Homo-oligomer: A and B are copies of this chain.
Amino acid sequence: MCEASAYIITEHEPRLIMDCVDKVVPEGSGIRLVNIFGDQKIIRGRIHSLSLVDHKIFIEETRET
C-alpha cells in the first residue's frame, strides 16, 4: 500500500498527525487529510513538501495574524 504519514512542522520537530493517509486536499486555509479507513482531519496549514518514496507528508502550520 502506498499511503503515507502526515507530520506537522512545528517550532520544534515534526509531529505525527495521521498515519495511513490516502487523500490530501488543500481547502481554503487548511489541508484535508483522509486515511485509508475513511477518517478525516482538517489541519490549518499548507503543504510544505511530500516525499512519496519515504511515505511522508509535511504540513507547515500557518498562524492567524
Name A's B-contacting residues (CB within 8 A): 1-4, 21-26, 36, 46-53, 55
Most-contacted residue by chain B among A4, A25, A52 (CB, 10 A): A52
Considering only CB atoms, which chain B residue lies closest to A31 in the complex? B47
The dominant DSSP class at the A interface is strand
Nearest CB of chain B from residue A57's CB, rounded to whole Å:
8
- Whether B3 contacts A23 by the Cβ 8 Å rule is no
- Whether A55 contacts B2 by the Cβ 8 Å rule is yes
- Whether B47 contacts A26 by the Cβ 8 Å rule is yes
- Whether B52 contacts A52 by the Cβ 8 Å rule is yes
User: In the assembly, what is the distance between CA of A4 and CA of B55, in Å?
Assistant: 11
Considering only CB atoms, which chain B residue lies closest to A49 in the complex? B25
